[in-house]
Amino acid sequence: MKLDNYVLGKWISGDGNGQALYNSVSGKQIATATTSGLDFGDILQYGRKQGGPALRKMTFHERGRMLKALALYLHSKKEEFYPLSYATGATRVDSWIDIEGGIGNLFAYASLRKQFPNETYYVDGEAASLSKGGSFIGHHIMVPKEGIAVHINAYNFPIWGMLEKIAVNILAGVPALVKPATVTSFLTEKMVKEIIASNILPEGSLQLICGSARGVLDHVTSQDVVTFTGSASTGMALKAHDRVIKEAVPFNMEADSLNSSVLGLDAKPGTSEFDLFIKEVTKEITVKCGQKCTAIRRILVPENLLEDVQIALGKRLEKTVIGNPETEGVRMGALAGKSQLEDVKVKIQELLKASEIVYGTLDLVNVKGADANKGSFMSPVLLRNDDPFNKTETHTVEAFGPVSTLIPYSTTEEAVEITKMGKGSLCCSIVTNDKKIARDFVLNAATHHGRILVLNEECAKESTGHGSPMPMLVHGGPGRAGGGEEMGGKRGVMHYLQRTAVQGSPTMMTAVTNVFQYGAEQPEPVKHPFQKHFEELNVGETYITHKHTVTDADIVNFANVSGDNFYAHVDATSLDGTIFEGKVAHGYYILSKAAGMFVDPRKGPVLLNYGLDEARFTKPVYPGMTIGVKLTVKEKVDQEKRSEDDIAKGIVKFMVDVYDETGETVALATILTMVKKIDQSS
């Protein structure tokens, strides 16, 4: 069987025989994969011209809802992917991480839509004042790039690797071309066939090539984004591609790294933290046969506990049943293929220059439900390096399999130094219940790690563990790890958006951003804003209230009602040495009075006021001063109906500008109101 490529709106098999792909458990051939005959230039252009415009027409909310629909669809099909996943050597647990973990990323980024406006663009940060008189300001907007995301993925997670990336670029409004590692691309192909069959994504927003991608980077442009996951050497070669450099193409690299886990000085045998450490390290050695970019390669242990840890790990690793992932009781499957198995053994030989094997073997192992000669099986291997500062292969050579090295250390400072010898990693962990040890380690080690887990008994039950990247946190690391960032919530979406500084008058900036900018035109509506539905309100329209003169009685009454008897409000004899000229009105009284002045008491489309943002008291208000309020529609945020019976509504942010008789602002705040829509179908 020849794998298909999904390009140019159709499934196409490449020319010729292609690369043979094998079941890593049985050794039998599954398929062949080739991209021969495909025109990568045409494929990239198709994504830019077909998928890009369709995605950019959609708002963040629409794209997020689309991701949610896709996640629900794939979740209903999840069991169909497991049988083929077993052929990659993955156990049920391994496959769950890949399949359902990948689908979980879609759900996570679908939910992230709520942090973006229901617009095709994003307004970033606050406006910057660029002139003394306030007539010239600047702002940043972010719009989807007009290119295509080229994802070059690793073989270890053929589904998660794809879904965690496309979730981000699709939410951003950018199409993707996915190039999975060929050896396990048969599983990626099956997932993409389901995605295309769902008809949920716009045509051209996702394309797939199974086989060699040699030459694809010859066609990238400055509007494209390239992401790479895999070995550091391959990533560096791609990053240095002439076209990538000449076009200044954004390149995000996530490379395999020599990650560390540290047993804290306090975590002695008999403590919960010691047991947690042994469990976590064992898991990271055996899950996915250690074929994870986040797997623990270096195990740092207080020198006086090295023997205890070695014995405990050996006992736990002995319980690992190796074999066919579909056989009951098997805890560790096979590596992805024979070439991966041979590569791991070669790397172990290099590591043996600095270490010795204290558990495991390089010989054939006993396996359950399979033939050890035909499959790509190997034993977990635990090495030990007693001289990590002089025998440095441990910090430079990675065996990408169930292999890890025990390393002694004497102080927390020394542990930090040893972790840094890996020259940058994706993740690191420390198991400790000592706050000072945790703080000292994290703050000093952070420069060399993309993520640090502090694990103890308190968080153990809910911790996702050392090796699990999370959608809302960045996944990447400095130095050897590639210097990139993936996922990371909103941060990840920003990689696919162009940030542009826009300058002009407050009125023009309001028109461009659809967010009211202070100093812009404020047309007065005929109808009170609280009597208008969501669709009828316009950003910038301003209701000006009647005036009120603040009295001493107002201040006294508010103090009695609120219980706020702070001296500046109630004791005129205590004001010497303060900034106040006399008893001053409570800031919250000013806002409360402002609400009484701008609220329309009649029943109308406003359902409720549910929040107050950015409240500032900018000038003292004394008895005898007169205040008024300008209530301005600052921003409108669409909301989705949670059910057919739900009321169609949106959130309107009103700017409350309280000013005195001189026209100077005394208080400024943003209130959030829930406003009913005219159209109850949306």
Catalytically active residues, by annotation: 254, 293
Q: Is the Cβ–Cβ distance between 213 and 40 less than 8 Å?
A: yes
Distance CA 616, CA 370 (A): 70
Identity of the residue numbered 368: K
The secondary structure of 490-510 as a DSSP string is: HHHHHTTEEEEEEEE-HHHHH
CB count within 10 Å of CB 105 equals 24
CA 577 from chain centre, in angstroms, equals 51
Q: Which two tokens stand for residue 105?
A: 């990323």
Alpha carbons within 13 angstroms on the beta-carbon side of residue 211 total 25
Distance CA 10, CA 470 (A): 33
Please name the residue that has the structure tokens 């790890």: 481
Task: Label the pairing between strands 251-255 and 225-230.
Answer: parallel
Alpha carbons within 13 angstroms on the beta-carbon side of residue 46 total 19
Distance CA 109, CA 104 (A): 9
Task: Label the pairing between strands 665-676 and 606-617.
Answer: antiparallel
Task: Label the pairing between strands 176-179 and 206-208.
Answer: parallel
The secondary structure of 125-194 as a DSSP string is: EEEEE-SSSSS-EEEEEEEE-SS-EEEE--SS-TTHHHHHHHHHHHHHT--EEEE--GGGHHHHHHHHHH
Q: Is the Cβ–Cβ distance between 512 and 184 less than 8 Å?
A: no
3-state secondary structure of 81: coil
Identity of the residue numbered 238: L
Distance CA 398, CA 426 (A): 14
Q: Which two tokens stand for residue 523?
A: 């047309």
How long a stretch of residues is the chain?
682
Q: What phi, psi does 81 have (nearest 5°)?
A: -90, -20
CB count within 10 Å of CB 665 equals 15
3-state secondary structure of 453: strand
- Give the single-character DSSP code of 30: E
∠ CA 627-628-630, nearest 5°, is 145
Report the sign of the C-alpha dihedral through residues 130, 132, 134, 135, in that order: negative
Distance CA 395, CA 422 (A): 5
Q: How many helices (H) and strands (E) does the chain have?
A: 20, 27
Q: Is the Cβ–Cβ distance between 404 and 309 less than 8 Å?
A: no
3-state secondary structure of 53: helix
Task: Label the pairing between strands 428-431 and 452-455.
Answer: parallel
Instruction: Tell me the C-alpha to C-alpha distance, in Å, between residue 646 and each of 151, 537, 674, 676, 677.
Output: 40, 21, 13, 11, 12
CB count within 10 Å of CB 155 equals 23
Span between the terminal Cα atoms of the chain, in Å: 47
CB count within 10 Å of CB 602 equals 9
